[in-house]
Amino acid sequence: MSTVDAIRNGAARHDELIRQIGELDHAPPALQAQQEHVAGLETRLCNVKINIAKFEKKTEREKKEHRDVKDSIVRKLTYRMTGKGDKFKERITKEEKEFADALAKEMRAKDWAETLQGMLDEAIKVMQDLAAKTAHHTELKSQLDQLYSSIFDGPTSEFPMDDQLERTLLQAQQQHDQIQQRLNKESQVVDLLQRADDCCSRAEVQMKEALDYSTWDMFGGGVCADMAERNALNAAMSLAAQAEMMVHQASMQANKPGDVQLVPALQLPQISSFGDVLFDNIITDMNAHDKIEKSAAQLRAAHEMVKAQLASARARADAVGNDLVQASDKLSSARTELAAYRKNIIAHVAHGNDNSANAQPAPRYAPPPYLPAGEPIPISEGPSLGNRYAAHPACAGAGETSPGS
């Protein structure tokens, strides 16, 4: 078969392959970014699980020591007989505090593990979808290469413009992929900080409830107020820990070190349930209320820090998104010129004019025959991403539902 016949027979197939490849150009760089994201989550989850095992051992040990001291009748009588009843109470309070601290660390680590596992499951689904699309993209490009080989293999001196346009397309593709990867990371940072912001908001609601119950307790709320206060406080601390972990993950995903600063860990108020039961009075209630107020102030400061970083991350994502629009236009133009030039060659050959070396590329303002690869689609600003770009399915899927929300 002559080159002329090969061009005529392959023209329709060539156009279809170009269209399909353009629709999937976002997949390879998106998959690479998603694989890095999954690997980071897996490492983080592994470390948290190791810590959980350590915390469980320490909690069990502290629980045993606390129970031994509290239930020891001999020790209690000994302290009373020697006039050291206050020291016995202090010893019980100390053991209780150490047990409560160990249990709090264990529960916090388990909350982190549960949140990370949910994020990891979500990220793996996105990665699998991108892997399938990348494999299809690779197969289509292979088919296109085979088609070009079947038509243009051999001396190409009669088509010098073809070689020049191919080099331009390769450079535009490389630039587009680099910017796409940056946007992928920025979008993940926005999503993680948005989740942290949501957790902080919910934690502040719980902290306010704890303060309300603490106020009630000061005016005679009794055991019911104590229990409600602790439940709200524990819920607030759990949500604050999730927010802290989200910010940490965002700092690991950021394009540049320092783009995301870690927030200080919220300190758990040291309130003794043993003391509340045996020595419940206005003084202990006021002390507890003061501690909760200090924690609430820390939480508000951390939340403001998260909000500021979220605004900065959205601005960075918007800026990179604008760069991607320009790179997508450039890539689309390069691909369109090459495709139009080859179509022009085919048109010359199809009309019986074999002097294809005179074929000229289409003007740069010619409309593309398909959607440019990786073209970001403007979307309404939502609670998860907050920027105007849905650069690839990984970014769209990552912010659907935060664990624990």
Read off the pLDDT of residues 26-70 as tens digits, 9 standing for 90 and up: 999 999 999 999 999 999 999 999 999 988 888 888 777 666 655
The pTM (predicted TM-score) of the whole model is 0.59
Which residue ranges make up each domain of the chain?
16-143+164-398
Of residues 381 and 313, more confidence is placed in: 313
Least confidently predicted of 46-50, 129-133, 153-157, 214-218:
153-157
From residue 214, how far is each of 226, 236, 258 by CA, in Å?
Answer: 7, 14, 39
Q: Half-sphere exposure (CA, 13 Å, Cβ side) for 67?
A: 6
Of residues 90 and 36, more confidence is placed in: 36
Least confidently predicted of 27-36, 229-238, 325-334, 346-355:
346-355
Residue 10 CB neighbour total at 10 angstroms: 19
Q: Which whole number is the average pLDDT over 270-277?
A: 47
Written as six digits, the tokens of 38 are 């999954």
Evaluate if residue 389 carries a pLDDT over 70.
no
Q: At 293, is the secondary structure helix, strand, or coil?
A: helix
Of residues 342 and 282, more confidence is placed in: 342
Q: What percent of the chain has pLDDT over 70?
A: 67
User: What Rg, from alpha-carbon coordinates, does the chain have?
Assistant: 32
Structural contact between residues 303 and 373, judged by C-beta atoms closer than 8 angstroms: no
Mean pLDDT of the chain: 75
Place of tokens 């294809």: 356
Least confidently predicted of 313-317, 341-345, 374-378:
374-378
Of the candidates 63, 4, 316, 61, the one whose C-alpha atom is nearest the C-alpha of residue 186 is: 316
pLDDT at 81: 55
pLDDT at 12: 79
- Sign of the four-CA dihedral 75, 78, 80, 86: negative
Q: Which whole number is the average pLDDT over 153-175?
A: 76
pLDDT at 320: 94
Written as six digits, the tokens of 82 are 């020697």
pLDDT at 146: 80
Evaluate if residue 327 carries a pLDDT over 90.
yes
pLDDT at 31: 94
pLDDT at 363: 39
Evaluate if residue 86 carries a pLDDT over 90.
no
Evaluate if residue 195 carries a pLDDT over 70.
yes
Written as six digits, the tokens of 242 are 């999730």
Evaluate if residue 148 carries a pLDDT over 70.
yes
Evaluate if residue 382 carries a pLDDT over 50.
no
Question: Per-residue pLDDT tens for 216-257?
Answer: 656 665 667 677 877 888 888 889 989 999 999 999 888 888
Of residues 351 and 165, more confidence is placed in: 165
Least confidently predicted of 53-62, 147-156, 161-170, 394-403:
394-403
pLDDT at 17: 86
- Whole-number Å distance between alpha carbons of 168 and 173: 9
pLDDT at 377: 31
Question: Per-residue pLDDT tens for 92-124?
Answer: 667 677 778 888 888 888 998 999 999 999 999
Structural contact between residues 243 and 263, judged by C-beta atoms closer than 8 angstroms: yes
Q: At 402, is the secondary structure helix, strand, or coil?
A: coil
Of residues 312 and 63, more confidence is placed in: 312
pLDDT at 250: 93
Structural contact between residues 291 and 236, judged by C-beta atoms closer than 8 angstroms: no
